[in-house]
């Protein structure tokens, strides 16, 4: 049997961007590379957990020993994450940068350009993290928050509003950190405290975050 602070635990992690199709050749997305989520998955695995990684389209390899389930849209992510949690989950970590909106429909054929301007009609996407955290059998839930200003205020607001056990805030306005880089600096907030970690590599940050999450999870479970 594996050892470590998460031995015997089942962990589901979301990572990467989502893509919201406009037509057969175009989509709306963002700059997430998946690096933070894949680093969290590798660290959780190293801590002894069984890990399912629900991943949007990224260009990085799966960590050894981690099961990756690929998704494209925010709606796919909600469905796959829900299934993975149904299979049994002690800890849910949402690092994905999910598109908040999608085009209200995907055109069947490539949209042709004209001399006119063009506008897209967008509708809200479902929130995977809030949905999982709101379940009656909710696992220990950890969200990430990418902000460019008022990092602490917005992070604490998400902690309460989405009913999370912990939120990890990163200031993505800082150069060389956050989206797509190998490094990050974060502050983890939970209802009774906080810890600032980094700047450091995403791999080192993930190891510290997993140790911290493990302490809280094991306290909560009384084991």
Q: Which residue numbers are catalytic?
A: 30
What are the tokens at 134? 């709101």
To the nearest whole angstrom, how small is the minimum distance from the Cβ of residue 93 to ligand PMT?
Answer: 8
Q: Identify any residues that bridge with 50 across adjacent strands, giving them in sequence order.
A: 10
Q: Report how far residue 143's alpha carbon sits from residue 159's, in angstroms, rounded to the nearest whole number.
A: 8
What are the tokens at 176? 């060389």
- Is 220 marked as binding a ligand? no
- Is 35 marked as binding a ligand? no
Q: Residue 93 contacts by C-beta under 8 Å, 6 or more apart in sequence?
A: 11, 12, 13, 14, 37, 40, 44, 141, 142, 144, 213
> What residue ranges bind ligand PMT (CB under 6 A)?
14, 32-36, 74, 94-98, 100, 125, 127-129, 143-146, 158, 170, 172, 178-180
Nearer to ligand PMT, 143 or 214 (CB): 143
Q: Are 70 and 55 within 8 A, CB to CB?
A: yes
To the nearest whole angstrom, how small is the minimum distance from the Cβ of residue 179 to ligand PMT?
Answer: 5
Q: Which of 186, 194, 193 is nearest to 169 (CA)?
A: 186
Nearer to ligand PMT, 2 or 204 (CB): 204
To the nearest whole angstrom, how small is the minimum distance from the Cβ of residue 26 to ligand PMT?
Answer: 20
DSSP H or E stretch at residue 81: helix 74-86
Nearer to ligand PMT, 33 or 207 (CB): 33
To the nearest whole angstrom, how small is the minimum distance from the Cβ of residue 189 to ligand PMT?
Answer: 13
Nearer to ligand PMT, 71 or 94 (CB): 94
Handedness of CA 163, 222, 36, 126 (dihedral sign): negative
- Is 179 marked as binding a ligand? no
Cis upstream peptide for 166 (omega within 30°) = no
- DSSP-derived letter for residue 60 is S
Q: Cα 76–81–83 angle (5° rounding)?
A: 100
Nearer to ligand PMT, 10 or 35 (CB): 35
To the nearest whole angstrom, how small is the minimum distance from the Cβ of residue 202 to ligand PMT?
Answer: 6
- Is 162 marked as binding a ligand? yes
- Is 110 marked as binding a ligand? yes
User: Rounded to the nearest 10 degrees, what angle do helices 35-46 and 202-221 cross at?
Assistant: 50
Known binding-site residue numbers for CTP: 100, 110, 144, 158, 162
Known binding-site residue numbers: 100, 110, 144, 158, 162
């Amino acid at each position: 049997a594996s050892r470590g602070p998460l031995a015997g635990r089942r962990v589901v992690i979301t990572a990467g961007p989502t893509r919201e199709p406009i037509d057969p050749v175009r989509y709306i997305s963002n700059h997430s590379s998946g690096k933070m989520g894949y680093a969290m998955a590798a660290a959780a695995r190293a801590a002894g957990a069984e890990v399912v990684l629900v991943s949007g389209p990224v260009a990085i390899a799966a960590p050894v020993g981690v099961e990756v389930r690929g998704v494209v849209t925010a709606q796919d992510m909600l469905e796959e994450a829900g299934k993975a949690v149904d299979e049994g989950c002690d800890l849910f970590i949402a690092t994905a940068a999910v598109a908040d909106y999608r085009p209200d429909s995907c055109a069947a054929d490539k949209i042709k350009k004209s001399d006119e301007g063009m506008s897209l009609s967008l509708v809200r996407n479902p929130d995977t993290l809030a949905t999982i955290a709101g379940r009656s059998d909710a696992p220990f839930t950890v969200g990430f928050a990418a902000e460019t200003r008022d990092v602490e205020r917005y992070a604490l607001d998400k902690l309460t509003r989405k009913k999370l056990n912990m939120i990890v805030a990163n200031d993505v306005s800082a150069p060389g950190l956050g989206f797509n880089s190998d490094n990050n600096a974060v502050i983890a907030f939970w209802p009774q405290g906080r810890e600032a970690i980094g700047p450091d590599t995403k791999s080192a940050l993930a190891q510290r975050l997993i140790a911290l999450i493990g302490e809280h999870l094991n306290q909560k479970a009384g084991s």
